[in-house]
Structure 1
């Protein structure tokens, strides 16, 4: 699937969709024949058990039975001398104390076989009768295995280069799996064009409580099948998160034991109501919502969530997951070919979403990538046609290795975050943003705009803080100290230049609300709401510079894209092509996501 098909080509205002046979029962036998038949059946059953079950059953029972060894753990109250007396009396060899307190000792008897299926009853009776022995136990063999997870046996796992260590560095998924973390207990819902819930690589993890069809308003999110398979997107994203591992089919999801749901909401008329309902589905049950869609990535549209959707975000982060906050994972956008900028997308630049960008296998900026200040982290995806792409589930119970774009990057991040939630279920939505910032590394990612911010972190408008490292994220999640309650400080700046100059600087001494109850101790997010009037917004570049010198581009020049009147938006999705004041009136809201640390 081409990148544009996943995220840019979305519906409406974004272009927007057997039973088996039963064998009849035989007629019952006459009453006089029943005893004879019963006796025959019993004899046959015994014969089968002896022929096929005897030796095998014995071996299985032996594997489960304890195997006793020639050593004992003994507790005596009077220390080493008492243990020595006991050993000499009963013929044991005293191997020394087990703990430094001198009460528990390790004894071995040379006259006892090294391994036995039965305990030594004679020594048991002798130790039991001795008044100085407080406790004893003949030791048994314990089977223990190293928790290094075997590589999944799925036939396409060898093609999943982004997590099988074929590329260096990969997303470091194997390290997390080796710790026994696979997404168990975490629920992820993919908001898209549906999910093939009976797919052989999804059905066992499918969660109906995390699913709904808001296009037809019924509980079944099964996609609508068409000749062009245009509604394959949600199924592909779901497989990246939670495709079943070790089932001999396709590949493995990042969190292959997580529960996966699907919301069908992009295959029909899209409204603010439908978006809000989708983002509010079962907020106490669903932990992570993964969304790989947004306004058109055409380089002209400035659009974002409506009133109800913004309220859904607010309620999600304040009330979801029992007050810890819902996690909204968002693809940054595929409009790079059109010089689109994800700062103009009100979903990715919301402080409530965690925006994810893409890089190729070679660590290059993909041709479809959008650069913006709101991107926090990056995972792998496709590049040019000859580059490897993402392996996942596909419609009609199939697999594909052609999933592409930032549509493929966001679900990978959602799966990694599910692993971190399994390690620490008490992380808040803000905790997770802090952790993602710290677990993202520049690695080998190539870009011209890497800069070191005021606190020494490298950051790029293409990649955010870099490639997400699952092992590092999980390790930090285990010991993370929760963040303090969020506070907000608002500063108003009024500037009336006439006219707007080619280079204009608007400065303000921000005190962070010092002396008030909402004093900001450390900076996580910066939101700039800018209202201006200008003849051609494609000529505007707007940047924000912190006191420590970190410069974030909020709107970049998009001179290569012609501006058409029908494409003018005021930021809330309202067409303003009708006659009005001269110039392009717009409201720009850019979230300085790259906050999360001061700088």
Structure 2
């Protein structure tokens, strides 16, 4: 069957850097200072210099230990007859020095309590099982380096959009934030999950513990950002509508910094679905008005349909430019069996692989702990916690700043895949892993000094193509100026979108790719053997992050190829993100 005319719309977006200075507010803490301990030495200031100090020393029985500074006015004196440590100052020497007209200033020295800023690992009993951040795997997520700098998520609010969270859990209650929580299934303020014999509503509680489980309380493990505030939105345990999703994604946008979501359309290898009109508006309002205009951060799990050859670019949530899509890798650096590959995945964190692989430690229902959390559901909250650490280091980062930082703080490391490629600006990128394993230490270090991006620009190019008689392959080329000479001229790329309309007898047989002028080829959708739909794609927007920072000017090539005959379409089951 011959494809119908194909309409293409390439949307390009830009990022450049400007400078911004900021001063972090000082934290004030009230505490009782320990009593001073006085030692047998004094600092004195004498303007007449060394000979006068020698006179003082002989007169009052001090030993002159010499100048403190090179200018010859401040000197260090010690008295052998004074106790080396005392809870009271020596009043006799104080009076003698005070009466001497040549002494401008003096102070009996006290002990100062100073400590090496080494970091002690959390004392929680299950921290030893948290292999992905306690150096049992190399590289791990580099969380300990950030904690050693005193960053633990303080002041950052994360909300888990899911089936509720157990707000009274002993590892969550102290960090629980009611302002970041709501129940949109029953429309009340309490996000406590509904308990059932099979405990199917445990998902949100597990995700919450990965982010903000309390540290050093001798229970379970520690969250990545264990001093962050954690909220929960109960919205998956009931009727789900566009209204419910939109309300969940727009709850308290000036209070919540990060929304973490590990759900989406069914990962069955045949569905092409995404957010409705209201939910798309919630995303738009979130990034333009949330966090005082800096933009809400939406962290999303990429999907668990790998066994069905699903592709996360057929999921309009992970495929959105407004979400930061997170994939998974195993402890051994392999692609998990459930993982979906796609061009919109930006970064990767750890999860499990086969049954014998170690999984993720977190909180569980009934005030319990588990070391059996898995899937991309477990990867996204780890990334949300790491992003919370970066926000504590620099609270002025915009939603686009954070995506730039994640691109730069993700490394191929030991991640194994056959599709690693070097893009036009020299970065390695993969459809399985995005830019690689997210490094919290690198993310925070760059966040401290990051200069904010300019406002986003968009340039759209319309391409209408009438295909020739059917061929195994078809390429549509278009010379692109990136709106040169106009106000929306783009010099450097962020997200690239292709809005595609076409008809085809068996949609899943098509592999669609896009190649940039700098030679980077990105697969917008690989073949999906279970997708037998004859509807084709109706204005579906594919997105790729693989061209990040490239120059958009030149010839872009859209490739379409029928590869359906390569695959045996056997059926099997895969876990959902929930």
- 1:461-506 per-position Cα deviation (integer Å, ceiling 9, x unaligned): 1011111111111111111111122111222222222445322222
Q: Which residue of 1 aligns with 2:130?
A: 160
Q: Which residue of 2 aligns with 1:186?
A: 156
Work out the CA distance in 2 between the residues paired with 1:137 and 1:486: 59
Q: How many residues align?
A: 520
Of 406-415 and 178-187, deviating more is 178-187
The CA deviation at 1:365 is 0.2
Counterpart selection for 1:330 from 297, 300, 303: 300
The CA deviation at 1:151 is 1.4
The CA deviation at 1:121 is 1.4
Q: Which residue of 2 aligns with 1:14?
A: none
Counterpart selection for 2:95 from 125, 132, 140: 125
Counterpart selection for 1:588 from 529, 537, 540: 540
Work out the CA distance in 2 between the residues paired with 1:306 and 1:101: 73
Structure 1 SS opposite 2:278: helix
**Do residues 465 (structure 1) and 417 (structure 2) align?**
no
**Do residues 563 (structure 1) and 541 (structure 2) align?**
no
- 1:79-132 per-position Cα deviation (integer Å, ceiling 9, x unaligned): 555555544544433434444554433333333222111111122222222334
Distance 1:524 1:91, change over 3 A: farther
Counterpart selection for 1:287 from 257, 262, 268: 257
* Structure with bigger RCO (C-alpha 8 Å, 6+ apart): 2
2:520, 2:546 within 8 Å by CA — same for their partners in 1? no
Structure 2 SS opposite 1:64: coil
Q: Which residue of 1 aligns with 2:403?
A: 433
Counterpart selection for 2:174 from 184, 204, 208: 204
Work out the CA distance in 2 between the residues paired with 1:84 and 1:522: 70
Of 515-524 and 295-304, deviating more is 515-524
- 1:383-425 per-position Cα deviation (integer Å, ceiling 9, x unaligned): 0000010011111111111101000000000011111111111
Work out the CA distance in 2 between the residues paired with 1:134 and 1:406: 69
Distance 1:337 1:136, change over 3 A: same
Q: Which residue of 2 aligns with 1:318?
A: 288
Q: Which residue of 1 aligns with 2:421?
A: 451
The CA deviation at 1:438 is 1.0
Work out the CA distance in 2 between the residues paired with 1:130 and 1:258: 56
Q: Which residue of 1 aligns with 2:339?
A: 369
Distance 1:94 1:404, change over 3 A: same
**Do residues 386 (structure 1) and 356 (structure 2) align?**
yes
Q: Which residue of 1 aligns with 2:375?
A: 405
The CA deviation at 1:192 is 0.2
Per the normalisation by structure 1, the TM-score is 0.84
Counterpart selection for 1:105 from 75, 86, 93: 75
Work out the CA distance in 1 between the residues paired with 2:481 and 2:59: 82
Q: Which residue of 2 aligns with 1:52?
A: none
- Structure 1: stretches of 5+ with no match in the other structure: 1-61, 566-582
Distance 1:493 1:395, change over 3 A: same
Q: Which residue of 2 aligns with 1:232?
A: 202
Work out the CA distance in 2 between the residues paired with 1:157 and 1:281: 32
Q: Which residue of 1 aligns with 2:524?
A: 554
Per the normalisation by structure 2, the TM-score is 0.87
- 1:200-240 per-position Cα deviation (integer Å, ceiling 9, x unaligned): 11111100000000011000001111111111100000010
Q: Which residue of 1 aligns with 2:561?
A: none
2:500, 2:537 within 8 Å by CA — same for their partners in 1? no
Counterpart selection for 1:496 from 462, 466, 476: 466
Distance 1:249 1:85, change over 3 A: same
Provide the aligned C-alpha RMSD in A. 1.8
**Do residues 597 (structure 1) and 549 (structure 2) align?**
yes
Structure 2 SS opposite 1:491: strand
- 1:245-304 per-position Cα deviation (integer Å, ceiling 9, x unaligned): 111111111111111000000011111111110000000100000000001100011111
Distance 1:544 1:219, change over 3 A: same
Work out the CA distance in 2 between the residues paired with 1:204 and 1:470: 24
Distance 1:429 1:63, change over 3 A: closer
1:294, 1:345 within 8 Å by CA — same for their partners in 2? yes
Q: Which residue of 1 aligns with 2:482?
A: 512
1:72, 1:139 within 8 Å by CA — same for their partners in 2? yes
If each structure's strand is expressed as a fraction of its own residues, which one has the higher value? 2
The CA deviation at 1:427 is 0.9
The CA deviation at 1:527 is 1.4
1:375, 1:594 within 8 Å by CA — same for their partners in 2? no
- Structure 2: stretches of 5+ with no match in the other structure: 1-31, 552-578
1:541, 1:553 within 8 Å by CA — same for their partners in 2? yes
